[in-house]
Homo-oligomer: A and B are copies of this chain.
Amino acid sequence: MAIDKTRIRRLPEHAVDDRGQIDAILDEGFVCHVAYLMDDRPVVIPTLYARDGERVLLHGSTASGLMMAAKRGSNLSIAVTLVDGLVVARSGFESSANYRSVVIHGTGTLLEGAEHEKALDVLVEALIPGRLADIRRPTSIEMRKTAVIAVGLEEVSAKIHAGPPEDAESDLGTGVWAGVIPLELTAGAPQPAPDLEPGVEMPDYLTTYRRS
């Protein structure tokens, strides 16, 4: 097959199929957008997730639209997107965003019993490493209210768009500024809850918390 160089230049989104890179994106993110079918229409919602080896775990209220759809066997599409910057090109056409994204397709398996409880632990620890040791075990009522599904990473792809603008030759030297505005999700200093009793120190895993 001939390589369409125009297309490659015009769409500088680099498809990535390296599992190490895919896992790195999934491990840096924590919010995904998941699409499911409801009455034959697509519905997309944001939700927290965690990678657990060869699958991702999503949790939600047992009666939520997503969990009901997953139980019905709905196909799911899950996107994780990390926004790294704005590409300020000399034309609108070449202007875009730098990002790393993963899209997963599959169906969800509802986890039960010990697997369900273990999955909730994985979700807690993925969000804030170190947290699990400090909190109590979930109650059986909490577990009944919170469903967890697993979606395998069999059908998964990634795209990475990085670097400076790729302006057309004819736009160079025209006196128009071009470059990249870096963007990053940054964590501020943790704010204690108003009902935190005096004398409880912030754990080390929170004082050093970074998202990436």
Contact = CB atoms under 8 A, between A and B. Distances in A.
Contacts of A55: none
A1 interface: no
Interface in A71-91: 74-79, 81, 83, 86, 88, 90-91
Interface stretch (A15-23, A33-41, A108-116): A33-41
A205 to B, nearest CB: 10
Interface of A: 10-11, 30-31, 33-37, 40-46, 48, 61, 74-79, 81, 83, 86, 88, 90-93, 95-97, 99, 101, 103, 105, 120-121, 123-124, 127-128, 131-132, 134-136, 138-139, 142, 145-146, 164-165, 167, 171-197, 200-203, 206, 209, 211
